[in-house]
Structures are given as structure tokens and as C-alpha cells.
Amino acid sequence: MLSPGLEEEEIAPLLAQRVLVTNSASNFQEFAAIYEFSIIEAGNTNQDPLLLAKQISETWTRLGLKHKQPFLLQLYRDAEPVLADIE
């Protein structure tokens, strides 16, 4: 968990080789390419955190994301997720 009030520029270096789950992926995409971290965009899911965690887990396993970084994964409540490389 990151402290509230940190700017994107302060957060990004802390995320190297990690995965950020956020409702605002566009704020971090530029930094993801530089610091090589992945982003899961959850802003379109509008669901309970436990259901979101389950959706992330199932998608992670199904798409084999453990060895694929950096990536942008956009999740939707009632639609297939969209996966893209971050370059």
C-alpha cells in the first residue's frame, strides 16, 4: 500500500518489476515503460474488492502473466479482458 498524496513520479520507481492495480492506468503508462512494471486497470469493473481479486487471479492464471512483463491488462466487469504490451 502506498501513502496517499504521493505523485506518479514518486510512485513509479517503487514499482519496478511489480504490478500496479489502479483505476487510472493512463496516469502511469509512460512510467511503466521506463521502470518496467505492469499495470492492471480495474476502473471499469465497478465491483467488490474480493470479486476483483478473484477476477485478477483467474485472468492472471488463464493468460499466463507471471512471466510476461511489462503489460497493461484492462479488466471489465462483463467482458473479456484486454491485454497489451507496454513498450
Q: Indicate whether 38 pLDDT > 70.
A: yes
φ, ψ of residue 10 in degrees (nearest 5): -85, -30
Percent of the residues in the chain that have a pLDDT greater than 70, as a whole number: 95
Mean pLDDT for the chain overall = 89
pTM of this structure:
0.87
The model's confidence at residue 69, banded by pLDDT at 50, 70 and 90, is confident
E runs forming strands in the chain: 19-22, 38-44, 71-76, 82-85
Please determine, for residue 3, whether its predicted confidence score (pLDDT) is greater than 70. no
**In this predicted structure, what is the pLDDT of residue 52?**
93
User: What are the extents of the domains in the chain?
Assistant: 8-85
User: Given a cut of 80, is residue 6 above it in pLDDT?
Assistant: no
Which SS3 state, helix, strand or coil, does residue 75 take? strand
- The pLDDT confidence band at residue 2, using thresholds 50, 70 and 90, is low
Give me the percent of the chain exceeding a pLDDT of 90. Answer: 54
